DNA sequence: AATTATTTTTAGGTAAATCTAAATAATTTA
DNA sequence: TAAATTATTTAGATTTACCTAAAAATAATT
């Protein structure tokens, strides 16, 4: 069953929204897709008719088993292309989302799998989000917000909460990226800033705002 | 002025058809785009209104200056992606057209130019067709059909007239590809087959059908 | 030149994906 | 719990990109 670009965008949006909050509302979808609630209702009916959603009028939606499978192949394509753009074409990770938003709709199983192999079967995209494999299975690691980590713990940066150019600029300046390993040294109550020490390197200060944008795993 | 996928496909089809025969007819376009003449007329009006065509009812169309510029950026994208698929992802050149048909519509000047650089600014696609540069300029070499070359001439294969898997299979078997250099030794009147001799290698026979599918330049 | 055949356009219609405005359902507040 | 507010759906339009059937223009044949 072949989906249109619009249908795929809806499926993907529902997938992401339901991760965070279970049942997804019409208004949430309208906001996330930059469209109007009335348009969303139309589309929900169409996707329900195609058995991709569990939809109860006025009660919001979730993806059906089929819908979830579709969503995972779109997410896989999106993240593989993002990896390609950053790793091979030298895009900054703040520039790739828009382009990947189009590339994710190119239909060719062979293309995706060959791209995956060409890239060396990456497990995470440039923002640290896991890439589903061809069976829709993706790594799930226990992530914590840096703001919640206590001193002396060693951690590895595994994703970012925001993808702005400004964040990227700051991280580059501080020499921090996905995969960087460091130890939390101290937390300051006054401004909630954090002192960290990057593996064999000098220690540096992380502001509250920055800490809130960084997700790490314990190592 | 941003074109839809359908509009881009029309512009590109007109570009290719007018190369061969000047004014392009409604029926030619309908055949080439797998659609109906009535639909073509509709679209011709829309594209004319956007100043991309010179269209005189009942007299066929050609691209305007603007239309030609648009066409060249689409052709550039199509051929760069084909090169990418064959050179980096190991597709056979009979498999790439369909996928490139979708990839060519991804809108990002930056993407195209970075892809071009990543690929090493290739001048020809896997079928031997020239790739326009970012200004729309492409190499033009004087090509001849192998069937028209006379004995003792040295030639280099520069493109193929057909892109079938069957042709690719045969060429691989004979160890011939784009760039292969050989000498035409003899032509046989009975079956119009040709004896050729590949540079430092044994001589071999090319059937009439094969010769008609190969385009070469004199070296 | 008149007839026939072919090509192209027009007329009228459909499905997808959007919209605005109005109606209805659900939730919150007083 | 009744009224007010908010969320969602329905009704009715619009645009794009197609379609079929019929009319009109052009080209080819007697
Ligand atoms: Mn998208
Ligand atoms: Mn990402
Ligand atoms: Mn195309
Ligand atoms: Mn090609």
Residues B44, B61 contacting (CB under 8 angstroms): yes
Torsion sign (Cα): B1, B6, B12, B14? negative
pLDDT score recorded for residue B20: 85
The answer to whether position A30 is within a domain reads yes
The predicted pLDDT at position B73 comes to 98
pLDDT at A177: 93
DSSP E strands, B141-206: 144-145, 154-160, 181-187, 194-198, 203-206
Ligand 4 geometric centre to CA of B78 (Å): 7
Mutate to test the interface with A, among B111, B114, B118, B165 (most CBs of A within 10 A): B111
Nearest CB neighbour to A88, from listed B85, B91, B118: B118
What per-residue confidence (pLDDT) applies to A22? 85
pLDDT digits (tens, 9 = 90+) for A101-137: 999 999 999 999 999 999 999 999 999 999 999 999 9
Scanning residues 52 through 91 of protein chain B, those with a beta carbon under 7 Å from any atom of strand D turn out to be: 58
Q: Is residue B204 part of a domain?
A: yes
Task: For the beta carbon of residue A15, count every other beta carbon within 10 angstroms.
Answer: 19
Is residue B121 domain-resident?
Answer: no
**Residues by Cβ under 7 A, strand C:** A 4-7, 34-36, 38-39, 42-43, 46, 58; B 25-28, 37-38, 40-42, 44-45, 55, 57-58, 60
Q: What is the pLDDT of residue A141?
A: 86
Show which residues on chain B lie within 8 Å of chain A, measured between beta carbons: 85, 88-91, 95, 98-99, 102-103, 105-108, 110-111, 114-115, 118
**pLDDT tier for residue A155 given thresholds of 50, 70 and 90:** very high
* pLDDT for residue A142: 84
CATH assignment of the domain containing A163: 2.30.30.90
In this complex, do B102 and A99 lie within 8 Å of one another by their Cβ atoms? no
CATH number of the domain that A45 lies in?
1.10.10.10
| Overall number of domains in chain A | 2
Of B15, B40, B63, the domain-final residue? B63
**Would you state the structure tokens that stand for residue A53, as one six-digit string?**
């959603």
Nucleotides of D under 7 A from a protein CB: 7-12, 16-22, 25-26
* Close Cβ partners of A67 (under 8 Å, ≥ 6 residues apart): A11, A14, A15, A47, A51, A52, A53
Q: Which of B63, B92, B109 is the last residue of a domain?
A: B63
Q: Which nucleotide is at minimal CA–C1' distance from B58?
A: C8
In a domain, A85, yes or no: no
Residue A16 within a domain:
yes
Average pLDDT (B128-141) is 94
pLDDT at A1 over 80: no
| Ordered DSSP codes for A36-95 | -HHHHHHHHHHHHHTT-EEE-TTS-EEE-HHHHHHHHHHHHHHHHHHHHHHHTT---TTT
Kindly state the average pLDDT of the residues A13-26: 94
In whole angstroms, D29 C1' to B113 CA is 56
Cα(B31)–Cα(B56) distance, integer angstroms: 20
pLDDT, one tens digit per residue, over B1-29 is 799 999 999 999 999 999 988 899 999 99
The answer as to whether A77 is a domain residue is: no
- pLDDT digit string, tens, across residues B76-129: 999 999 999 999 999 999 999 999 999 999 999 999 999 999 999 999 999 999
CB A129 within 8 A of CB A163: no
CA distance A50 to chain B (A): 24
Q: B78-95 burial string, b = 16+ CB within 10 Å, else e?
A: bbbbbbbbbebbebebbb
- pLDDT (0 to 100) of residue A130: 95
Q: Which of A63, A86, A109 is where one domain is finished?
A: A63
Residue A201's pLDDT band (cuts 50, 70, 90):
confident
Inside any domain, residue B120: no
Q: Which domain holds residue A177?
A: 144-218
pLDDT bucket at B34, cuts 50 / 70 / 90: very high
With beta carbons under 8 A apart, name residues in chain B contacting A110: 91, 95, 99
Let me know if residue B195 belongs to a domain.
yes
Query: Å from A192 to nearest chain B CA?
Result: 39
Q: Is the CB of A41 under 7 A from strand D?
A: yes
CA of B168 to the centre of ligand 3 (A): 23
Which chain B residues are closer than 8 Å to A98 by Cβ?
108
Q: What is the interface size between A and B, counted as CB pairs within 8 Å?
A: 42
Q: What is the pLDDT of residues B142-186, one digit of tens each?
A: 899 999 999 999 999 999 999 999 999 999 999 999 999 999 999
């Amino acid at each position: 069953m072949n989906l249109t670009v619009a249908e795929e965008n809806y499926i993907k949006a529902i997938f992401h929204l339901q991760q965070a909050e279970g049942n997804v509302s019409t208004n949430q979808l309208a906001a996330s897709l930059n469209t109007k609630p009335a348009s969303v209702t139309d589309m929900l009916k169409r996707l329900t008719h195609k058995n991709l959603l569990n939809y109860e009028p006025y009660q919001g939606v979730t993806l059906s088993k089929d819908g979830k499978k579709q969503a995972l192949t779109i997410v896989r394509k999106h993240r593989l292309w993002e990896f390609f753009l950053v790793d091979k074409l030298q895009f900054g990770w703040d520039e790739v989302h828009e382009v990947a938003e189009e590339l994710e709709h190119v239909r060719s199983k062979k293309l995706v799998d060959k791209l995956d192999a060409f890239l060396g079967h990456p497990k995470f995209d440039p923002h640290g989000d896991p890439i589903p494999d061809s069976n829709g299975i993706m790594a799930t690691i226990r992530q914590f917000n840096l703001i919640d980590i206590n001193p002396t713990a060693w951690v590895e940066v595994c994703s970012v909460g925001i993808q702005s150019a400004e964040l990227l600029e700051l991280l580059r300046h501080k020499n921090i990226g996905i995969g960087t390993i460091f130890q939390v040294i101290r937390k300051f109550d006054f401004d909630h800033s954090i002192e960290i020490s990057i593996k064999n390197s000098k220690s540096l200060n992380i502001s509250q705002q920055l800490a809130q944008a960084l997700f790490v795993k314990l190592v």
